[in-house]
Amino acid sequence: MHYYRYENAEVSCCYKYLMFSYNIIFWLAGTAFIAIGFWAWSEKGVLSDLTQVTRLHGFDPVWGVLVVGTVTFILGFAGCVGALRENICLLKFFAGVIGFIFFLELTAAVLAFVFQGQVREWISDFFLANVKAYREDIDLQNLIDSLQKLNHCCGAKDPNDWNLNVYFNCSENNPSREKCGVPFSCCISDPADTVVNTQCGYDVRASGTPSQWSNTIYVKGCMIALEEWLPRNLYIVAGVFIVISLLQMVGIFLARTLIGDIEKVKFNYY
C-alpha cells in the first residue's frame, strides 16, 4: 500500500492571489493602452487607410502607446492565467520577460551614463527629425508643443531649427503664412491671457537677432533645457527608476515563489 506525503502539498493561496492581483492591474492597464491607441488611430483615420502609418516621417506617439499596451497586456494575461491555472510555463514566461526588461533598462541606463555625448546627439537628431514632421501628425504636434511649453524651450538647439520644417522655413519660395515663424508653443505666454494665441509666433524670425526674439519667444533649445532639468531632478528620476525596478523584482519574486510551490506539490504528489 502506497502512502503520499500530504504535508504542505498545496499551493500557497496567499502567493497565488497576490500574483493574480499584481497582474490584473497590468492586464487592465494594457487593455486600456491598446484601446487608447486604436481610438487615436481611428480619430486620425488610420484604421480606414492603413497606408497612413508608413507616410509619417517622424515618430508617431501612438506606436509607443500600442507597444507598451501590447507588452503589458501579454505579461498581465500570462501572469493572471499562470497564477489561476498554476501553469508553470506561463509563470516562467512572465518571470523571464520581466527579468529581460529589467536587464534592458539597467543596460540602457549604464550605456546612457557612459556614452552621454552620443546619447545627447541621438536625442538631438531625433528631435530635429520630428521637427520636420511637425505638421504631419496631430499627436506628434501635441507632443512637441507640450515639450516646448513645459521646458520653456524652442527647437533642439535654438529657434532656427524650425527652418527644417517646410511651413516655418525662411526660404523665398515658401508660400506659408508661418514662414520665418515658430509654433505657438515657443511663445512666452502672459499668465493673464485666458485664450491661447496660436499666431503669436508668426514672422518672429523674419528680422532681428535671438537676443531680440527673447522678448517674444523662448530662445533656449530643448536639448539645453533637458541638460539643465536632469541635474535639478536627479533624485526624482532615480526614485522613479528604483520604484519601477522594485515592482519588477516583486513580480519576479511572486512568480518564482509560486513556481516553487507548484513544483513542490507535483513532487509530493508523484
Distance (Å, rounded) from C-alpha 68 to C-alpha 76?
12
Instruction: State residue 214's pLDDT score.
Output: 87
Q: In 10 A of CB 203, how many CB atoms?
A: 14
**Buried b vs exposed e over 91-123: b needs ≥16 C-beta within 10 Å?**
bebbbebbbeebeeeeeeeeeeeeeeeeeeeee
Instruction: State residue 250's pLDDT score.
Output: 92
Instruction: State residue 2's pLDDT score.
Output: 47
Instruction: Answer yes or no: pTM beyond 0.85.
Output: no
**Whether the Cβ atoms of residue 61 and residue 126 lie closer than 8 Å to each other:** no
Q: How far is CA 20 from CA 29, 89, 90, 251, in A?
A: 14, 16, 13, 10
- Residue type at 233 in one-letter notation: N
- Residue type at 81 in one-letter notation: V
Distance (Å, rounded) from C-alpha 270 to C-alpha 258?
19
Q: What is the pLDDT along the chain (270 residues), one digit of tens a residue?
A: 444 444 455 677 888 888 999 999 889 999 999 999 888 877 765 555 555 555 555 677 788 889 999 999 999 999 999 998 889 999 999 999 999 999 999 998 888 888 888 888 898 888 898 898 898 888 888 889 999 999 999 999 999 999 999 999 998 888 999 999 999 999 998 776 777 888 888 989 988 777 788 889 999 999 999 888 888 888 898 899 899 999 999 999 999 999 988 888 777 655
Residue with cell 498545496: 10
DSSP letters spanning 148-210: HHHHT--SSSSGGGGGGSTTT---TT---TTTT---GGGB---TT--S--TTTTTTGGGSS-H
Helix (H, G, I), strand (E, B) or coil at 217: strand
What's the longest Cα–Cα distance across the chain? 99
DSSP state of 51: G
Q: How far is CA 245 from CA 45, 159, 173, in A?
A: 38, 38, 53
